[in-house]
Amino acid sequence: MMASAQKRSPSPIEQAQHRERVGVRSSSTGTVTRRLSHEDERLLKQILAKPQDYIDSEVFYEEDAERMIYDEAPPIQQPDTTWYHPVMDDLSGTRTRTVKSSQQVILTAAEERVLFHQFNYARHRVRQIQEEIWSNPDKQPTPEQAEEILSWHRRADRIREQIAETNLALVLAMAKRTRMSEVDFADLVSEGNMALLRAVDKFDAGRGYKFSTYACRAILKAFSRQGMKLSKYRQRFPTDFDPKLEKSNFLETKRATFEKDAAEEVRTIVMDNRAELTEVERTVIEHRFGLESSNTDKPMTLEQVGQIIGVTKERVRQIQNKAMEKIRTELESKFLGEPADPEQSESATVG
């Protein structure tokens, strides 16, 4: 009962996905003998979706071409990309990461020819197996064909990645040299990297040129296209950058409004004498802060107010502080709901 309860029949969606999965047929019986893993299945469907492009060469058709291109080729140093953090370096602005000689790999023309022959021969083999599969009536690969086409495709990808990583410094150097103020540096580097990968796919090493010569032109064209694309976008949406739109002024406006309201409230408290100020205290506050309705001059200093009421400026300071304390208590009782008289607050607590 427990085992039957735990066993679940596949849903209609899972059944449809199972029917659509790519299988491999037996070379002898023509029936599907096994299923590929999800990763291999996805990759195989992607490979069989369109013919594989490659740069042809006479070397590919020679006897033992695979052995000559791979087994007899000299070993080529793998690139070190631990230094490659272009966006982080650009944001820091303090220093630029330099590539050490031990990290940078510079290929000779002979080494480039070896890599590109290996890369294009792998793609050539993928194309051959594609044509063999498509010639089958059911267009399903045999187990041997599936394993072989996946192996050659992954080998081509590894070599492509090696060539691209070896030339990452070229993209970074050109991006810094042709820095465009209207294009973000990260977008510029990204567009250059995509152009570098396209250049790897299309470069013909048999013509005798260095790959950097061909890649530089492709990268510069990509930079130009990115700038033109951004220019057309700005022509269609000609809104200039406004710093005010990037930062809200809500707090500043709210604070200014509060200060204005508080100043009006203080004026009302003083003029109506709701804080029970003495005559001297009202005189000091009115002159110190220019609260008199008829006074158009600037607020007076402590010394000036002292000359009017006949006391020292230190005594004026004491009177001002006592008056301000009364006004503050009145404001708190109005806005915070606290009693203005401390004796009232104590009696309410006792009660």
Higher pLDDT, 269 or 158: 158
Q: Would the pLDDT of 141 be above 50?
A: yes
Instruction: Let me know: does 120 contact 163? Beta carbons within 8 Å.
Output: no
Which pLDDT does position 350 carry in this prediction? 39
Alpha-carbon distance of 76 to 112, in angstroms, equals: 9
Q: Would the pLDDT of 347 be above 50?
A: no
- How does residue 346 score in pLDDT terms, banded at 50, 70 and 90? very low
Helix axes 302-309, 279-289, angle to 10 degrees: 140
pLDDT tens column, 29-80: 455 455 778 899 999 999 999 999 999 999 999 989 999 999 998 999 888 8
Highest mean pLDDT range out of 64-68, 270-274, 292-296? 64-68
Alpha-carbon distance of 153 to 198, in angstroms, equals: 17
Which pLDDT does position 345 carry in this prediction? 44
Which pLDDT does position 116 carry in this prediction? 95
Q: What does the pLDDT average to over 277-304?
A: 77
Higher pLDDT, 34 or 248: 248
Residue spans per domain, the chain: 25-236, 250-344
Which pLDDT does position 4 carry in this prediction? 44
Residue 332: which of 320, 344, 316, 314 has the closest Cα?
344
Residue 110: which of 11, 245, 235, 208 has the closest Cα?
208
Instruction: Let me know: does 31 contact 25? Beta carbons within 8 Å.
Output: yes
Tokens 């008199």 label which residue?
A: 292
Mean pLDDT across the chain: 79
pLDDT tens column, 153-177: 999 999 999 999 999 989 988 888 8
Structurally, what CATH architecture does the domain formed by 250-344 represent? Orthogonal Bundle (1.10)
The fold of the 25-236 domain, in CATH, is Four Helix Bundle (Hemerythrin (Met), subunit A) (1.20.120)
Which pLDDT does position 245 carry in this prediction? 59
Q: What share of the chain is helix, strand, coil (3-state, %, to 5)?
A: 65, 0, 35
Q: Which of 85-89, 171-175, 268-272, 342-346 has the lowest mean pLDDT?
A: 342-346
Higher pLDDT, 284 or 331: 284
pLDDT tens column, 89-109: 554 544 455 555 456 778 899
Which pLDDT does position 19 carry in this prediction? 47
Higher pLDDT, 173 or 241: 173
Alpha-carbon distance of 201 to 199, in angstroms, equals: 5
